[in-house]
Structure 1
């Protein structure tokens, strides 16, 4: 097979021709033999065998197979959707290297942190029913007090769990149990991990930051969210999701593999050796035997053993149904799983900053808001990585277009902030299927004193009400900085009382109390200075948009 390092030294066109020819030759060999254990591989490892080229291969097939060859992807499943329809799906490579089972669009994967979108949706369905408030203390619903011992008087809320700002982290007992005795998660009462003096309690479960002040990605927090689903609904977490999410959306998916109809088509997950030649099974290697149901003996309200943070199995096609429901205001195929306002609330920017080495810069309620996966596109969704799997599910809300793809083993390197393989697959799918990025101006409708604005028919929920001030003959709309960034689709960063908004190549900085905005180093006078209110910095939106050359239509 042609080496990638050799190709990098050739002109791009010639390299592409050689790589395409190599793939065809390699595919022909695969059609003759199929995968077998590599006689030279270490015990327990399998060689990555040649891919099978589809009989009537398209340019897209060849592009994706070239990416697979470059990053040593074991298997890839992908689905593309627009509006209310799936427009394409495909599967390549191997679901099981030991048997030669291939990946199809219906192959199921353990999707890691994509699961958190389902967990958040389950919890927000109960929010729809008025069962709790986002800023309620979670201890009230768990039945015991939960607090950071460094800040005992500050409550921990549902909103904080869903934005990873609760100060509950994985570095305490949770990580120790996952690494040393994961079966214990099926037995343990999470109360024993969260209350002082209990058997598994440790102060290391809580960060040094006060609840609500700092981002800290937390799988344990997602497990607590799933436990709250159990406490509030009175049902085991996996059964709740099956009844109220998977069955209504006609998804053959679940947190319990034994209950999945198509269990024989669950992909094995793999990690490569250092040479990216041989792959070791890490998860879901059932050897054609139906998985045994997990024996969960933990009391209701302790859902860690059902893996709300990462244990969902789904195909890319079925997960695309779930994503379409979110993209289309809580509805898929005339079936509603969320109120439209609740879906918009989940997708509204709730936090901004810098987390996980820059992967997280903006966040909704467990929905990731990113500008980094596909150049020039603001996308909403989530990524996942565990046991060798890499997966992404995102949509462009302006163009009603989205993608889901799942990889069960690959060279996961060069993160900036996504792995290079993720950027390559996502860009290829967008380049092939996505409509041209919309340049239509954001139409912002707002009223003074309201906590909701509308931007191109999408509602954005504000942390404090909008303010309309008069400066001479002009009316100035002041919004919380986080909501302004959401409405204008800008990047946002904060240093003290100074905010910097980024749009394409333009940066604009504003400071509380200063009647000037600095745009790429040049100061422009503002009719009124930004100011603080109830912990938020309010900024003049129309003036910010003009400074960033964003053509905005404002209706007050």
Structure 2
């Protein structure tokens, strides 16, 4: 009898808990309406597929995918479709660096040569050390020169190799699978004055810490510093300290670490897929993930901004989002709505004070955006090359729908 009573009590407790986490019918209707609107738009776009996620400070409000992921065989783009998110990946570098700082493995203002096995020094200012903070705020004076642009993108296989190597993705280019190397080897070849690809133009004639200059290679160097400071590879460190805690179980830094059958092609246009590719400098733009997983990620970042995050302590999150630069650090400051007006630790801060990050690689555009007043976050990605005004028209339609339903779902959200 005692066991039966305990069982009934447990069942009632479970039922109550479950009921508390059940959304209202109005919330579910709003989700359905958003799905219907985005489905309608997806049938008209000049890109094949796209994914979205929205969140507030308490939960993921919506996540989904629309359109086409692959043509042969035809495969739908959904919330579990895996796609490279390009430079939005850089926001993970900032979280990882600050986590390593919490663990006592490094400090933001440490000189990077304290950790590297080769020297990285601006030849114009050889006595001024480059710091980790400068790498994460794009003020290191390291510059993405032509060597970087031409050598980082690597094809995954040799199918139609000659034809694929000739595809125009300027200013970058495809390289054969045999060109795949570690980030340490790539960076040493490029940044070490004794490296086989070294050219002086990989540095600006500016003092380290002086001028904002967006640098992919500098971001990847921050990831290498983390590897050397912690003794753990960047992909493993971020998996253990970011992906797993956030249950981003469909995400990873290589095709071997995700469900390959769920990977979308990226496309030159609606009819022409690109071959699958990866990056030698994978930390700067190589995360493979899903709309579902990115919902968890943007929700955590919003919580972190509001002092409720779980990946980092409050002080680290404050540093992550704190504007790091001043007007004097910009030669031509971008004052447009989503311009690079300032930066936290890898997180772009817009003139409005809101923040986020954009990404772009062959066949894709991606963005995460946060509204600090409304306390909401958004993720949006497409799998086809943007084509100018036509693509922008559909971007606007999608974002207008997201604006309306983010507000509705946020008001109707009941999870605490």
Aligned to 2:402: 429
In the alignment, does 2:372 pair up with 1:397?
A: yes
For the residue of structure 1 that corresponds to 2:196, the secondary structure is coil
In the alignment, does 2:379 pair up with 1:382?
A: no
Deviations 1:186-217 (A, max 9, x none): 15252232222332211011122222222221
Matching residue within 334, 338, 344 for 1:364:
344
- Partners of 2:345 and 2:389 lie apart in 1 by 28
Q: Are 2:61 and 2:409, in contact at CA under 8 Å, matched by a contact in 1?
A: no
In the alignment, does 2:214 pair up with 1:247?
A: no
For the residue of structure 2 that corresponds to 1:308, the secondary structure is helix
- Partners of 2:214 and 2:313 lie apart in 1 by 27
Q: How does 1:453-472 map to 2 (within 5 A)?
A: none
For the residue of structure 2 that corresponds to 1:116, the secondary structure is helix
Q: How does 1:303-342 map to 2 (within 5 A)?
A: 305=280, 307-329=282-304, 336-342=310-316
- Partners of 2:211 and 2:219 lie apart in 1 by 16
- Partners of 1:362 and 1:421 lie apart in 2 by 28
Aligned to 2:233: 236
Report the CA distance between 1:312 and its aligned residue. Answer: 0.4
Report the CA distance between 1:157 and its aligned residue. Answer: 1.2
Matching residue within 199, 203, 216 for 1:202:
199
- Partners of 1:134 and 1:423 lie apart in 2 by 38
TM-score computed with the length of structure 2 as normaliser? 0.76
Matching residue within 88, 93, 98 for 2:67:
93
For the residue of structure 2 that corresponds to 1:393, the secondary structure is strand
In the alignment, does 2:272 pair up with 1:280?
A: yes
Larger RCO: 1 or 2 (CA < 8 Å, sep 6+)? 2
- Partners of 2:399 and 2:233 lie apart in 1 by 35
Q: Are 1:71 and 1:421, in contact at CA under 8 Å, matched by a contact in 2?
A: yes
Aligned to 2:18: none
Q: How does 1:30-429 map to 2 (within 5 A)?
A: 59-65=33-39, 67-68=41-42, 71-178=45-152, 179=173, 181=175, 183=177, 184-187=179-182, 188=185, 190-252=187-249, 253-260=251-258, 262-272=259-269, 278-284=270-276, 305=280, 307-329=282-304, 336-351=310-325, 353=330, 354=332, 359-371=339-351, 378-414=353-389, 421-429=394-402
Report the CA distance between 1:337 and its aligned residue. Answer: 1.4
TM-score computed with the length of structure 1 as normaliser? 0.58
Structure 2 vs 1, CA of residues 118 and 63 (structure 1 numbering), >3 Å: closer, same or farther? same
- Partners of 1:318 and 1:190 lie apart in 2 by 30
Deviations 1:19-74 (A, max 9, x none): xxxxxxxxxxxxxxxxxxxxxxxxxxxxxxxxxxxxx9955345434544554121
Deviations 1:393-423 (A, max 9, x none): 12222332111121111534249xx956545
Report the CA distance between 1:117 and its aligned residue. Answer: 0.8
Deviations 1:83-127 (A, max 9, x none): 121112222100112222101112121110111011221122111
Structure 2 vs 1, CA of residues 312 and 356 (structure 1 numbering), >3 Å: closer, same or farther? farther
Q: Are 1:172 and 1:203, in contact at CA under 8 Å, matched by a contact in 2?
A: no
Aligned to 2:166: none
- Partners of 2:70 and 2:54 lie apart in 1 by 24
* CA RMSD in angstroms, aligned pairs only: 3.1
Q: Which has the higher helix share?
A: 2
For the residue of structure 2 that corresponds to 1:325, the secondary structure is helix
Structure 2 vs 1, CA of residues 122 and 186 (structure 1 numbering), >3 Å: closer, same or farther? same
- Partners of 2:314 and 2:392 lie apart in 1 by 33
For the residue of structure 1 that corresponds to 2:115, the secondary structure is helix
Structure 2 vs 1, CA of residues 235 and 182 (structure 1 numbering), >3 Å: closer, same or farther? farther
Structure 2 vs 1, CA of residues 342 and 177 (structure 1 numbering), >3 Å: closer, same or farther? same
Deviations 1:118-151 (A, max 9, x none): 1221122111223222222111111443211112
Q: Are 1:362 and 1:370, in contact at CA under 8 Å, matched by a contact in 2?
A: yes
Structure 2 vs 1, CA of residues 255 and 75 (structure 1 numbering), >3 Å: closer, same or farther? same
Asked which structure has the greater CA Rg, the reply is 1
Deviations 1:452-471 (A, max 9, x none): xxxxxxxxxxxxxxxxxxxx
Deviations 1:338-361 (A, max 9, x none): 111111211111135446795312
Q: Which has the higher strand share?
A: 1
- Partners of 1:202 and 1:363 lie apart in 2 by 28
